Amino acid sequence: MPQNIKGAKLNLGYPSRRSGLALLSLVALGLAGLPAPATAQSRNATDDPVAAVAQYSGADRQAFLETGARREGRLVVFSSTGDPAITQIVTAFKAKYPFLEVSVPCCLNSPTDVTTRAMAEMRSGRSSIGVIETFVSGLNALRQLKFLTTYSTPNSKLQIPEATDRDGYYIASRSNMRGLAINTKAVSPTEAPKSWQDLLDPKWRGRITIAGGEAATGLIAYLQDNQGKDYLEKFAAQKPRLVQVTARALAEMLLSGEVEISPTITRAHIAGAIEKGAPVAFVPISPVVSISTALALPAKSPSPHAAMLFIDFVTSQEGQQIYVKSGFESLSPAFMKQEDAQLKFVFPESDPGYPRRSNDLADLATRLFHSQ
């Protein structure tokens, strides 16, 4: 049984060499031979009780959801968001809806854990999952397995259009901006590359480090789709070092001086260190690769009313403010930093076809970059 949020523990240590790619292998096996995803119309038949709640838009929507949530009584949230942010979100949500018992299972240490556990539960037919919050790549894998349903929230208008899936399967809860980060003892901010083209300068040869797993595949997808094959080959000629650790672990290596420069660091992972005066800096390069964490509704959610209240809360100004204060980026213009609002964002993992190509991307990263 899921444990209360107070019992949740996060493991932010170094994964094994292949663990960062576990989700990619899982997706390849799970999606093999599957037909294209069902359309929103076919998934949301009028006799589907979860879909009926998910799409409800009457003038009494708030009262409708609260009444149903009181009957349900509890909500299990599968989330890859770590502490303290997820604890703060759940605490504020429970203060707003004290009649709900809300729990977050322990040991969901990464997006891979969330997606793997969700797949196992949903296949069992006895899933307790009310709502899921994890990387869009994992949600697209669950979507293609037909484990999710579409939904509608009035808060979608508060965010940039790219934050909401065009078919209605998810809406972003927060964004992890991945960009260029430097150790300022090794690279001065004035010297740091200001564009993707600048990374091809010969002086950076052998000095660039890339995180493994989803960070590497996301970068490869971006470079392939936006910079082109020629750029990717020239970038590989810079001899970047591929280290099979998470982006968070690589940020720790940047702080310690083991890494000089990396285009796979998540700004949220070093924001606190920057505020404390650590010798690191984040240099966003437009277009910025952004990895979205989004909210999805299981097609067999046992608590769809409570789940929709949670989705509404997290995407509201109150919920977004909690994430922003925790160091994450919001895709709501109201909470974007002025300099961020001028950037162009790209979301390589938002393509529904991304799970199917992710293993190929991982193999390409291993072939192109010096792995360690």
CATH 3.40.190.10 maps onto the chain at: 5-175+291-342, 177-289+361-371
- The answer to which of 17-26, 82-91, 247-256, 360-369 has the lowest mean pLDDT is 17-26
Residue 46: what pLDDT?
A: 55
**371: which strand partners?**
242
How many whole angstroms from its chain centre is CA 151? Answer: 19
How far is Cα 308 from Cα 286, in angstroms, rounded to an integer? 34
Residue 107: what pLDDT?
A: 64
Q: Which residues contact 350 (CB under 8 A, 6 or more apart)?
A: 136, 140, 162, 165, 292
What superfamily would CATH give domain 177-289+361-371? Periplasmic binding protein-like II (3.40.190.10)
226 burial via Cβ count (<10 Å: 0-12, 13-18, 19+): middle
Mean pLDDT of 105-112: 70
Is 23 or 126 the better-scoring residue by pLDDT?
126
Mean pLDDT of 71-83: 92
What is the C-alpha R_g of the chain? Answer: 20
What top-level class would CATH report for the domain 5-175+291-342?
A: alpha beta
Question: Can you point out the beta strands (E) in 244-347?
Answer: 261-266, 280-283, 288-298, 345-346
Structure-token pair, residue 62: 């708030």
Residue 371: what pLDDT?
A: 66
Q: Which residues contact 240 (CB under 8 A, 6 or more apart)?
A: 208, 209, 210, 369, 370
How far is Cα 243 from Cα 219, in angstroms, rounded to an integer? 14
Per-residue pLDDT at 299 exceeds 80: yes
Half-sphere CA count of 272, side-chain side, radius 13 A? 9
Neighbours of 277 (CB within 10 A): 7
Q: Please give the C-alpha separations between residue 147 and each of 16, 56, 78, 105, 168, in angstroms, as whole numbers.
A: 29, 20, 14, 19, 14
List pLDDT tens digits, range 301-346.
999 999 999 999 999 999 999 998 887 888 888 888 777 777 777 7
Identify which of 21-35, 189-203, 320-334, 344-358 has the greatest average pLDDT.
189-203
26: three-class secondary structure by DSSP: helix
pLDDT averaged over every residue in the chain = 84
Residue 109: what pLDDT?
A: 60
